[in-house]
Amino acid sequence: MLRMDHWINGAPVPPESGEYLDVHEPATGARYAHVAAGDTRDVERAVQAASHAFPAWAATGVSERGRMLERLADLIDQRLDDLAAAESMDSGKPVSLAREVDIPRSASNLRYFAHAVQHAAGEFFDFDGGGVPGGARAMNMVLRSPRGVAGCISPWNLPLYLLTWKIAPALATGNTVVAKPSEVTPRTASMLAELSAQAGLPAGVLNIVHGDARAGSAIVTHERVPTITFTGSTAVGRWIGAQAGGMLKRVSLELGGKNPFIIMDDADVEAAIKVAARAAFRNQGQICLCGSRLLVHERVLDRVRAGIVKAAETLAVGDPSLADTQFGSLVSEPHRAKVSRMVESARSLGGRILTGGGPVDPARLPPRCRGGSFYEPTVVEGLDPTCEFEQEEVFGPVVSLRSFRDDDEALRLANGTKYGLAATVFTRDLSRAQHFARSLAAGIVWVNCWMVRDLRTPFGGARHSGVGREGGSEALRFFTEPKNVCIAG
C-alpha cells in the first residue's frame, strides 16, 4: 500500500510518532494509502528546516526564484496525466475536471506569481513638506521584504490548486513554507514535494507536513511562523483567527460561502441555466464558490425550474476515472452523511425535492464504484430563507430554488446570510448589473458568468467568508513586510 511521508528539508521524513492515517478512494470506498499523521514534533522539524533555509532563499534574486517556480510549473504540465489521475482518485472528482481545471491551474498559480513578483511596481511618495512653512521635504520609498516562514493550510476540495495558490506567492516573495494539505486528499501535495526537488528548490524552502488538525494547529501556534494562510471551513477559520490574533500573527482566512446565483427576467435564460447548473454541481458542488441558492425572477421561474432539473438529471454520473464522467463521488463517507443530513432536514422543513435527494443508486454505477460516496445532484424548492439549510453551507451537489418579485427582494434574499464570498447575477440590463454589483455583500460578483478567475484580481470573502484577500498584488503584499524609508531633501 502506498505510504506518504512528510517532506522536510528536501527529503521524505516519517512521522516522529510512527502513526499514519488511512487514505481512501472515495469513488470505491477502498483504502489505498497511508499518510503521515503529523504532530508538534514534525512541525518543529519542518519549521527548523524552513527557518534555516530562509536567509539564503530571501537573498536569492527574484528572477532566480521565479525561474525555479516556472520550472516547477513546467514539471506539473509534464506530469498532467499522473497528477490528474491522482487528484481524481484522492477526491472523487471527474478526471476530466482535474485535467482541465485543477492541474493546469496549479501550474498557472506558480507561473503567475513567478512573473508577478518580477513585475511588481514599488511605492514611492515625493513629500512636499505637508504645506507647513519650512516643512521638511523628503522622498519616501517602500521596501518590502519576506516575513519568514509562512504556514499554508489548505482543504480537500481543490487540493493542488489551492495549495499552489498559497505556496506560489509565499515562495515567490522570498518566504519559506511549511504547508499542510488536507489529510483527506494528500496525494498531489506529496507528488509536488518530489517535483519541487527536481525543479531545484533548495532543501528546506518548501516543507510539507501531513496530518489532521493536530499538525495544522501546531503550525498555527508555532511562534516562529509569523504568517498563516488558511483556506477551509468558517469554524476552523474562526479558531485560527483567534489564535493568530493572540500571537499577533498576520493571517488570511478564506472560508465558506452560501452564494446566491440570481437570474433576472431580462437575462439570457438558457445561458443562465447552463451556467447555474455548472455553478451548482461542478466538483459535486464542493467548491466554495458554488452557487447554492438559485434566486429567480418569478416571470422566468418555470423555465429555470425545468432547466435546472433537466441539467441535474442529464449529468453523466459515474466512475470519476473515466474520461466522459461529468459528476463523480463526494470526497468521503462522513461528508456524504453530512450532505444527506442537511437534505433530510430540508425535507422535514417542507422543502420539495424536485430531483435527487439521496445517494446514487449503486445499480447505476459500475461495479467498482458501488461502495463509493456518490450523492445525486439535487434541487430543493419551497424552503424558508431563514432556515438552517438556506443559511448554512452544505458543500454538496444541492441547490435551492426560490423566486423573487423585484430587485429589492432579490438583494434582500441574496444578502440574507452571514456569508459574503461570491455572488452571480444574470441580466442584460447594464445599470441593473451595476446596481447589484454595488449592493451585493460579496468578495466577488460575477455578471453573466461564474468562476471566471483572473489571477491578478483580489480573491476572498466578506463577512463570515473570510478575512483578507489573496491573489495578484494582494498576495504579494500579504507575504511581505513593508518598510518605509524616508530620505530628507
d(CA 386, CA 349): 11
Query: Quick one: cell of 216?
Result: 495544522
Interatomic CA distance for residues 131 and 134, integer angstroms: 8
Please identify, among the stretches 40-48, 93-101, 248-256, 477-485, the one whose residues bind ligand NAD according to the rule CB under 6 A: 248-256
**Helices assigned H by DSSP within 360-426:** 388-391, 407-414
Residue 213 as a binder of ligand NAD (CB under 6 A): the answer is yes
Residue written as grid cell 494509502: 33
List, in order, residues 6 or more apart from 439 with CB less than 8 Å away. 411, 415
Q: How many residues does the chain have?
A: 489
288 binds ligand NAD (CB under 6 A): yes
Residue 254 appears among annotated catalytic residues: yes
CA-to-CA dists, residue 229 to 73, 208, 383, 441, angstroms: 21, 14, 36, 23
Nearest approach in angstroms of CB 136 to ligand NAD is 45
In degrees to the nearest 10, what's the CA dihedral of 46, 47, 51, 56?
30
Q: Binding pattern to ligand NAD, positions 379-408, x when CB under 6 A?
A: --------------x-x-------------
Scanning 15-23, 197-205, 252-260, 353-361 for contacts with ligand NAD by CB under 6 A, the matching segment is 252-260
Give the one residue of 466, 468, 471, 472 binding ligand NAD; rule: CB under 6 A.
466
Q: Which listed range, 38-46, 233-241, 349-357, 477-485, lies at the site for ligand NAD (CB under 6 A)?
A: 233-241
Catalytic residue from among 152, 288, 290, 369 = 288
Per the annotation, the verdict on 288 as an active-site residue is yes
- The answer to whether 156 contacts ligand NAD (rule: CB under 6 A) is yes
Q: Which residue is nearest to ligand NAD (CB)?
A: 216
Tell me the HSE value of 313 on the side-chain side, using a 13 A CA sphere: 9
8 binds ligand NAD (CB under 6 A): no
Q: Which is nearer to ligand NAD, 171 or 189 (CB)?
A: 189
Under the criterion CB under 6 A, does residue 486 sit at the interface with ligand NAD?
Answer: no
Q: Does residue 212 touch ligand NAD according to CB under 6 A? A: yes
Per-residue binder mask for ligand NAD (CB under 6 A), 345-384, x = binder: ----------------------------------------
Q: Of 92, 232, 241, 396, which lies in the binding site for ligand NAD, with binding defined by CB under 6 A?
A: 232
C-alpha 154/C-alpha 163 separation (Å) is: 6
Backbone angles phi, psi at 470, to 5 degrees: -115, 180
Number of residues that bind ligand NAD (CB under 6 A): 30
Q: Which of 437, 438, 455, 456 is nearest to 447 (CA)?
A: 437
Sheet strands (E) in 66-154:
123-127, 138-146, 149-153
- Does 182 sit near ligand NAD (CB under 6 A)? yes
Contacts of 266 (CB under 8 A, 6+ apart): 427, 428, 429, 432
Residue 110 binds ligand NAD (CB under 6 A): no
C-beta separation of 250 from 478 below 8 A: yes
Which residues does 108 contact at the CB level (< 8 Å), separation at least 6? 73, 455
Does residue 91 belong to the site contacting ligand NAD (CB under 6 A)? no
360: helix, coil or strand?
coil
Question: Contact between 155 and ligand NAD (CB under 6 A)?
Answer: yes
Report the residue number, 165 or 404, with the smaller CB distance to ligand NAD. 165
Query: Which residues, 6 or more positions from 167, have their beta carbon under 8 angstroms from its beta carbon?
Result: 150, 152, 177, 179, 206
Residue 153 binds ligand NAD, judged by CB under 6 A: yes
Find the binding residues for ligand NAD in span 420-459 (CB under 6 A).
Answer: 421
Q: Nearer to ligand NAD by C-beta: 65 or 464? A: 464
Rounded to 5 degrees, φ, ψ at 324 are -95, 5
CB of 331 to ligand NAD, least distance (A): 8
Catalytic residue selected from 254, 376, 381, 393? 254
CB of 162 to ligand NAD, least distance (A): 6
**Contact positions vs ligand NAD (CB under 6 A):** 153-157, 162, 180, 182-183, 212-213, 216-217, 220, 231-233, 236, 239-240, 254-257, 288, 393, 395, 421, 461, 466
Residues marked active site are found at 254, 288
